[in-house]
Structures are given as C-alpha cells and as structure tokens.
C-alpha cells in the first residue's frame, strides 16, 4: 500500500509507501573512507585558501587561531569580479550572465569534527556567522537570491570532507524558491495569513510529525517529505528573513539544529545529509518589479531543511519530479523522537 | 565564466559553466562490478518473476524462447489490485491512494546486453512493445499519467543489472509533466502553435546542438540541459501520444535511439544513464475536468529524454532546483557528433 501526498508549498505530489515502512536499520550507510592528504580547510593550512573575508578568531587574518573562517571559493560557481550582470534574449531563449558570489564557511578548525559534536555554543557562533555573511551579501542590490547550504559526506555531494558550508548569491530566483514564493504569495493574498505559519500551527497541534520543539523553534518531518527522515526547522513567530533574525533566537536556533543532527546521528551513525537554509529573496534588490518584492515580509517565512541522503534517485524521480519516500513521515518522526512506531 | 540559461518548457534556470567546459575524459565512470548470483530477468529464470503479461516469443508463456518479456513488478510502487482509487482532503493536506500499475519490460534475453549492441531490429521490436503496453494501459480511465523509463547501472538507480524498462501508471499528474503541460498549453492558447514544434524548428535551423537526424526524428542537446551530455529525441511531425505512434515511425525511432546510445558508449564506455519517455497524459482518462484534457493533442508533443548520470547532485541542486551543467550543450553536441569543439 502506498499513498500520494500533496506538498502544499511546492504543489507537488510525493508517493509514500505505507505498508513497507523502512526503519533506520534498513538503510545501509557505507563507512567513511580514509581521508588522505592535507586538508586546505584545516587550521594551519590558511595559505592554501583565498584570503579570508570574515573569521571568529584571535590574532591576524589568514593565520591559525580561528573558530570559524569564511573565504571566497577558490573555484566559484558564480563570481562578480570577472562577470557583469547582463540579461538578454537569444531568439526564443533567455540568458543571464553568471554574476554572483560563492563563499565557503569552514565550520570548525578540526578536521572531521561532526556538526552534532561541535557543542551548542559553537553552533550558535556558526549560525551568527551565517547571519553576518547573509546580511552583508544583501547589500549588493544585484543579488536577488541567496542559497546557504551544507553537503555532508561524498554521497551528499561534498568534495571536501572537512565540515563546511557554502553561500551562493545569484541574480535569478531558482525554480524551487520561485514556486514556493508564488504559492505563499497567493495564499497571503487570499487569506492575509502566512502559508508557513498555517503549516507550523497545523503540525504543532497535530503533533504526529513533530520531532523537537523549544521556546522559539519547532522541528518536524513534513507531511509530503520527498526524502526519508527529512526534517524542517521553522521559527515559531513569523519572520521572513534569516539575515535579520533577532539575537535572542541564536541560542534556540543552535539548540534545535543540534537536536536534529544528534537524532540523525543516533539513528544512522554518520549519514550523508544536506542542510539548506530557505530565506526570502534579497529585500534590498534593485528590481523594476518593485511592487512584486514589497510584500516579501508577509509572504515568506524562513526555515531550514535537513535532508538525509539515504537512497538513490533514479529515472522515475528525474522524469516525473515525483519522489518515492519509503518511510512514512509519522514513522520517521517517531524514530527521531526516540519513540519507535509500534510496527517498527 | 558561467551563464544562466532558461528552460522555456519547464520555466527553470540552469547554470552552464562556459570557461571550464568538461570534456568526456573529465568524467570518471567507475567500472562495473562483478554480477553475482542468478538474475531473475535472464532467459530460463521465468519462474522467478510474476506471470508474463505480454511477450515477443515462440512457445508457451513463462518459458524460454522470448525476445522481449513483460510482467508486473514483483515489488510494485503502485498497484490496482489491493488499492481503490480514492481522493480526499486531510485537513489542509491532500491525499490520493497509491492506485496504479508497475510493469517491467525485460529488453533482451541475454544478461548485460547493452542497448547499443542489441541491433536496430531488436530495438524496433522493443519500441513496438513499449507502444503496445502504453496503448493497453490507456484503456484504464482511472490512470491519468504514464511514465516509461529505464535506469541503466546502479549509479542511475538500477537495482537489477539486466537491461530492463519500467512503466508506471498513476492517478495524478506529477510536477514536471504538470509544469511542462501548463507552459505548452499556454503557448498554444496564445499562438496556436506547439511549443515543442517551435523548439524543434529552432534547434534544426540553428544546428549547433543537433546530434543526429533522420527522416522522422531529430536528436539534440537541449539549450538549458540540466545534465552534461543530456539528449532529447523528438518526432519531427507534431504528435502528442507515443501510444498511437504510426508504424512507419518504429524503424526511424529505433535508428535514432540506437544512434544516441552508440554515441554515448563511444564517448564514455558504459556510462550510467536514464531514458525517459514523455508522452501526453492518458487521453481516455475519466475526469470531471473534461475540457482541460480536450486539447491535449495540440498542446503536447511526445519525446524521449536521455540523461547520462556523470555527476553527483548536491545540496545546492536539491535546495534550489537550479542545476549546474559543466559541459555547455554546444560542446556536448559537438562531441556527440564526433566533431569535438576546437577548445576541447
């Protein structure tokens, strides 16, 4: 028995297998390979990276003595030094130059230090660093959208094993954000309520998919999760923009993130995963569509997505965009709450 | 230097790196592992699968003597025997039962026979089998959409190495098809021209992205391909529905498909890939939205997508839906035409 569930934000169906619910033990995580060579992200190897933009540190820049360190990616996907922002039509096709930025945040000086062992204070500093960089990037009016994300382990796309985060600024709104934004905007237009606030309230009152909660944040497994054991973290009070998150939320944000990654580690050891921050498009962007951006603060609600990469994606998912999730979200949440489902 | 290209069908941006174009030699394909145990898809192992639905064969069903064999998947993603079709609202959420079908087409009796070595006549029989099965499935009015696809090698999601194809029937239109259909429908509504016909004409007159062509079909690398060396095959004359393709097109369809997979094999040896058939939603579906389906034959244009799986997908792609393609489509087409780009 399987069922289709509709994601009300992205307007997509997800197929959830209900009768053959996969438990954590059913997913095989390959062991981590030996880590050879010298890591350019380790403390003491600062000369191997571009000069730092920002760091939490004692002592001079680009030397040891840091807790967290940020520098431009040596191999940027987008960059604004050699590229102008241009938009043009090529006959029937549309084209925009690869204008943007690509930064690396090294999360911790020690090699192979997992996120769930860094400690809550360090995580709060890390989130503060993210906020600082995102706030700084919003000052460039030609950046329209920012993606802050983390690939943990090669199966999740990491090319360097040392724990790090990437921030990419871009001059276009990518599809997933565009779709979610348009749905949320329409919801607000009709109801004068935030779509995400509605979902947060629904999940909190239902409770079956909630993993953890504190004063300011809630973590739950979305109703129509594409991936098994996927989690979403939302601030409980409506706020659109991660870059302007209040100081009071830094500690609780670190606490809920630590809780989420600890639960994953308890169930899977050291699973590959992605963490993705979904924040509003740049509120300072220069755009002729000024009115379009004016209601962002009502439409959007920033949140964090944690996606374990436990299964392969195949032709069916690529061809349809319809994902198959083998662990019903209610079961996944029960395991993550340390309260395994009865049939598990 | 990179550039954003907009996909006019799916309305999504794709990021193409132009200055560091990856050539075929830059992609490392891991060797195929030893294939252990007895394959249930091999000739002589018919008792290990559910009874066949259809076969091109001599002799009695479920015995050796076949060229191509079709049976229900032993572990179906969707099925109509134990599931009724139900649609309901669960509070704010939407739910549909996992009603549908899931068939396996074994492409050839011999284990590890690659598609590009089966021969053109065998491929024509295979395409005829696909057409027969798809036509048969359209008779169930509760099936709304069909996905015919192929996963080649484990990295592309195959769990059985023996060359096979899957056909899944479902009661919902998945996101990618829904988006493309809505764009194509709008295009036709405004212009009374098929969006795909426009693209086929544009690509044929431009020529830079064309890989191969015959009397009835053209194969090209799409302008905003998400994946390096991705190819699309379109019939040149407008037709929406693969299940009603004219007999005259079977040979040319086999010829262009063989050409495409041969070119991939020449460049990459035995790369993992997915093949996906994009056909119109079921024209016979029972739906209260009757008018909505009435113009399908104008809106849609069936086609085949061939997606080599040469690179990993990471947090950035999952978070944004924005793909990074490291081989510009013009370069990829040149390699596939056996005419490498000058800077290659």
Range of the domain at B246: 2-21+40-81+96-336
Of B2, B96, B206, the CB nearest to A3: B96
pLDDT for res A343: 61
Confidence of residue B295 (pLDDT cuts 50, 70, 90): confident
Choice between B233 and B270, residue whose per-residue pLDDT is larger: B233
Which member of A6, A96, A149 has the closest CB to residue B94?
Answer: A6
The pLDDT score that the predictor gives to residue B238 is: 97
ipTM: 0.89
What are the angstrom distances between the C-alpha of B208 and each of A89, A90, B146, B328? 17, 14, 32, 11
Which of B199, B224, B307 lies closest to A318 in CB terms?
Answer: B307
Instruction: Sort out which chain A residues have CB atoms less than 8 A from B18's CB and list them.
Output: 98
Task: Please judge whether A202 and B91 are an interchain contact, meaning their C-beta atoms are less than 8 angstroms apart.
Answer: yes
Element (H, E) at A276: strand A273-278
Q: Which of residues 303-332 of A touch B (CB under 8 A)?
A: 305, 307, 312-322, 324
Tokens of A175: 């599809």
Residue A291 in any domain: the answer is yes
Contacts of A212 (CB under 8 A, 6+ apart): A218, A219, A256, A259, A260, A263, A336, A337
pLDDT at residue A170 in the model: 94
What pLDDT, on the 0 to 100 scale, is given for residue A31? 76
Taking only the tens place, the pLDDT of each residue in B164-206 is 999 999 999 998 999 999 999 999 999 999 999 999 999 999 9
pLDDT of residue B343: 61
Q: By three-state DSSP, how is residue A167 classified? A: strand
Best mutation site among B1, B3, B4, B101 for testing chain A: the one with the most A CBs within 10 Å?
Answer: B4
Task: Please give the average pLDDT of every successive group of 10 residues along chain A, which has 344 residues.
Answer: 85 83 82 76 95 97 98 91 86 91 97 95 98 96 94 90 96 91 92 95 97 98 95 97 97 98 94 95 79 80 96 86 92 93 67
Asked if the structure places residue A28 within a domain, the reply is no
The reported pLDDT for the residue numbered B63 is: 97
Domain presence at residue A123: yes
Q: Cβ separation of A316 and B147 shorter than 8 Å?
A: yes
In a domain, A160, yes or no: yes
Per-residue pLDDT tens over the stretch B9-33: 888 888 888 777 888 888 877 777 6
Q: What is the pLDDT of residue A121?
A: 98
User: Is the Cα dihedral A182, A183, A189, A195 positive or negative?
Assistant: negative
Put simply, whether B78 touches A (Cβ < 8 Å) is yes
- The whole-number average pLDDT for the span B127-138 is 97
CB within 8 Å of chain B, chain A residues 156-215: 156-158, 166, 168, 170-172, 174-177, 179, 198-199, 202, 206
* Domain assignment of residue B172, yes or no: yes
**Partners of residue B224 in chain A, C-beta under 8 Å:** 93
For residue B233 the two structure tokens come to 């095959």
- Statement: residue B344 has pLDDT above 60: no
Residue A106 is given by DSSP the state: E
Which range among A117-121, B92-96, B117-121 shows the weakest confidence by mean pLDDT? Answer: B92-96
B38-58 confidence digits (pLDDT tens): 899 999 999 999 999 999 999
Nearest CA in chain A to B9: A93
- Which pLDDT does position B300 carry in this prediction? 94
Best B314, B317, B324 member to test A by mutation, with max A CBs in 10 Å, is B314
In a domain, B90, yes or no: no
Q: How confident is the model at residue B36 (pLDDT cuts 50, 70, 90)?
A: low
B91 part of a folded domain: no
Query: What are the backbone angles phi and psi of residue A243, rounded to the nearest 5°?
Result: -65, -20
Q: Which of residues 10-29 of B touch A (CB under 8 A)?
A: 10-13, 15, 17-18
Q: Which of the 8 DSSP states describes residue B314?
A: -
Inter-chain touch B319–A147, beta carbons under 8 Å: yes
B86 contacts chain A (CB < 8 A): no
Residue B181: predicted pLDDT: 92
CATH number reported for the structural domain that contains residue B67 in this entry: 3.30.428.10
pLDDT in the model for residue B291: 65
Total tally of structural domains belonging to chain A: 1
On whether residue B31 sits in a domain, the answer given is no
* Residue B103: pLDDT band with limits 50, 70, 90: very high
pLDDT value for B290: 65
Q: How far is CA A256 from CA A214, A231, A280, B67, in A?
A: 7, 11, 21, 57
């Amino acid at each position: 028995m399987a069922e289709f569930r509709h994601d009300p934000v992205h307007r997509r169906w997800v197929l959830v297998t209900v009768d053959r619910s996969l438990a954590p033990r059913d997913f095989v995580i390959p062991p981590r390979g030996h880590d050879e060579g010298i890591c350019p992200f380790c403390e003491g190897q600062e000369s191997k990276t571009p000069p730092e933009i920002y760091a939490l540190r004692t002592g001079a820049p680009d030397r040891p003595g840091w807790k967290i360190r940020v520098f431009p990616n040596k191999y940027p996907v987008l960059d604004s030094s050699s590229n102008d922002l241009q938009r043009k039509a090529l006959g029937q096709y549309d084209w925009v130059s690869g204008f943007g930025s690509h930064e690396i945040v090294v999360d911790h000086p020690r090699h192979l230090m997992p996120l769930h062992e860094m400690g809550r204070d360090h995580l709060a500093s890390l989130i503060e660093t993210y906020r600082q960089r995102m706030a700084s990037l919003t000052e460039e009016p030609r950046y329209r959208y920012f993606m802050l994300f983390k690939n943990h382990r090669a199966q999740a796309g990491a090319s360097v094993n040392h724990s790090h985060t990437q921030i990419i600024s871009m001059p276009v709104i990518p599809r997933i954000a565009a779709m979610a934004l348009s749905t949320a905007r329409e919801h607000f237009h009709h109801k004068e309520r935030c779509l995400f606030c509605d979902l947060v309230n629904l999940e909190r009152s239902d409770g079956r998919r909630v993993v953890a909660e504190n004063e300011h944040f809630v973590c739950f497994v979305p109703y129509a999760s594409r991936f098994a054991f996927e989690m979403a973290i939302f601030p409980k009070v409506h706020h659109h923009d991660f870059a302007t998150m209040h100081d009071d939320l830094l500690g609780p944000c670190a606490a809920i993130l630590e809780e989420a990654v600890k639960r994953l580690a308890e169930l899977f050891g050291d699973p590959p995963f992605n963490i993705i921050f979904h924040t509003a498009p740049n509120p300072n962007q220069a755009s002729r569509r000024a009115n379009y951006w004016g209601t962002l603060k009502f439409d959007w609600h920033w949140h964090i997505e944690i996606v374990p990469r436990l299964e392969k994606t195949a032709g069916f998912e690529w061809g349809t965009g319809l994902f198959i999730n083998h662990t019903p979200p209610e079961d996944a949440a029960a395991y993550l709450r340390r309260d395994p489902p009865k049939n598990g």
